[in-house]
Every structure is written in structure tokens, then in C-alpha cells.
Amino acid sequence: MTKLPLLVIEDETAVMSFLRTALERNGYSIVSASSGAEGLKLLESGAYMGVISDMRTPGGISGADVHAWIRANRPELSRRILFITGDTVNRETMEILEKTGAPCIEKPFRVAQLLRSIETLMAGEAR
């Protein structure tokens, strides 16, 4: 049985490259989107084991918007979303994280921290 891919929504090329390399080397397949809008299009038509999303992406659709769409349209994924951000000191970002209850790792992060977070999420232990 093949595992479903992870959807990774990240607009920074270097960060996306890091995520792809780290995850693929550890047995995950990745589908990437460079904006929240692109991520939503992929979510509408594809099956994923989970979602990793930057909090802020270009195009007017944020990580919080992606989370809200998932809760409304793909509730089975609502407990399998991991936010990544370089902006946890921002009050708005903190409010979104508290409201969604979704786990978050702060950039820059290490591969081991990323993998632990994904494994916890996929095991259903988050929250």
C-alpha cells in the first residue's frame, strides 16, 4: 500500500527545497504548492496524509485560511495540519495558532524537529 503524499504549502524556494529533501529522505512523498490558493486547488482534487503550511503565503490566502477551508471541506485533515512560520512573535499569528489549535514549528527548524512534529501529527497525538 502506498502512503498518501504530504501537501506542503511554502512560497520560499529555499525552505521548500529543504522540506522536500528532509521529508523525501525519510520516506514521505511530497506535493508542493507555492501559495495558499494553489494549495486549496490541490486539496479540492487530491488525497493527502497531511498538510504542512507556512502561515503567510502570497496571493491573499494565508495558512489560517487554508486551515479554515480544511475544517469545512476536508475535516479528516483538520487534525493533520502543521504550520511553519518565522513570525511567532506577531500577535495575529499567535491568535491564529491559539484559535486553530494546530501545532507550529518556528523557522529556522532542524530536520529532526520537523520529522518529530510530522510523526506526532500522523500518529494522531497532536493536541
Domain around 25: 9-112
pLDDT at 16: 96
CATH of residue 39's domain is: 3.40.50.2300
State the pLDDT at residue 91.
83
In tens, the pLDDT along 4-28 reads 999 999 999 999 999 999 999 999 9
Between CA 57 and CA 67, with CA 61 as vertex, the angle to 5 degrees is 100
Total number of domains constituting the chain: 1
Distance CA 122, CA 127 (A): 12
Model pLDDT, residue 38: 96
**CB within 8 A of 59, min separation 6: which ones?**
35, 36, 37, 38
* pLDDT per residue as tens digits for the range 66-123: 999 999 999 999 999 999 988 766 788 888 888 888 999 998 899 999 999 999 988 8
Question: Would 55 be classed as within a structural domain?
Answer: yes
Q: Is residue 127 part of a domain?
A: no
